[in-house]
Amino acid sequence: MTMRIAVLIPCYNEELTIGKVVQDFRRELPDAEIYVYDNNSRDRTAEVAREAGAIVRRETRQGKGNVVRSMFRDIDADVYVMTDGDDTYPAEFVHDLIRPIIEGEADMCIGDRHSDGSYSKENKRPFHNFGNQLVRKLINTLFHADLRDIMTGYRAFSRRFAKTMPIQSEGFEIETEMTLHALDKRFRILEIPIQYRDRPPGSHSKLNTLSDGIRVLKTVFWIFKDYKPLAFFTAVALILFLAGLGVGIPVLYEYFSFGRIAKIPSAILAVGFMVLATNSLTCGFILDTIVRHHRDYYELLQNEFKG
């Protein structure tokens, strides 16, 4: 049976490059259906994509996460390929990405931009590189993984992964969420080395260093809290415990030395810190149990999935 392959291209103001991207993937995958989802573009992105032979649809909710959510829900295929419309990901690597999916060796293949050094060479935004490395190190540490590229937009998915992933992100954090979901739910991940090229002259990135840096920090916090609640709240409890000790030790010294306590406010504050530390640790145990039950429930849903 022939595998149905869908190429998914989220787009926002990519008039200059989208035509070439569609043509390149049509050349590499002549039997695939190529979908361009126009995310409120103010230029001729939709018209150019349609002229190049793509199936064009519109997503009015702004943000790449919203687009990918609609793509996974609306499009029916056996293999999904996601790429960007800015012509930074060469189409010729798509065969390496989809082969493990077709052969049943992986549920998600990631186009790794870092192995050959092309991303660090072509990308002129050092703070984005720093943010990528920060998130990658955190995820690898928490999940005992060894992934090299967490935020790449060039990926291939199995039908099971695409149809059972609950997407919560609205913006560019969607790539990080996909990686987290795959690691947490024990999907099979393969990284495929690819080359990365910078945008052509005249094409401008939609990323903003300041706002996206804040998003990266929020993502780091969210990863730690939601996926590893016991570790997160234990760390919070330790900070509160040390604060309680710092405030309470002089009070205890005073009591054991003179048999009385004159620093009543300090004693109350120290007790407060210790109570908060205990509550934080308790929350960590409760939420960790909930997360474990959620993973078990997801596994049962996977058994019922009809691919």
CATH topology for 5-224 is Spore Coat Polysaccharide Biosynthesis Protein SpsA; Chain A (3.90.550)
Domain layout of the chain by residue ranges:
5-224, 229-304
Is residue 1 pLDDT above 60, yes or no?
no
Cα–Cα dist 147/142, whole Å: 12
pLDDT digits (tens, 9 = 90+) for 183-223: 999 999 999 999 988 777 666 665 555 666 677 677 778 87
Closest-CA residue to 9 (of 47, 43, 49, 48): 49
- Number of Cβ within 10 Å of residue 283's Cβ equals 16
| pLDDT in the model for residue 258 | 83
d(CA 34, CA 50): 10
> What is the enclosing helix (H) or strand (E) of 9?
strand 5-11
Its pTM stands at 0.82
Q: Does residue 172 register a pLDDT over 90?
A: no
Q: Is a pLDDT exceeding 70 seen at residue 128?
A: no
Average pLDDT along the chain: 88
- In the sheet that 55-58 helps form, which strands lie side by side, from edge to edge? 55-58, 33-38, 5-11, 79-82, 155-158, 108-112, 189-193
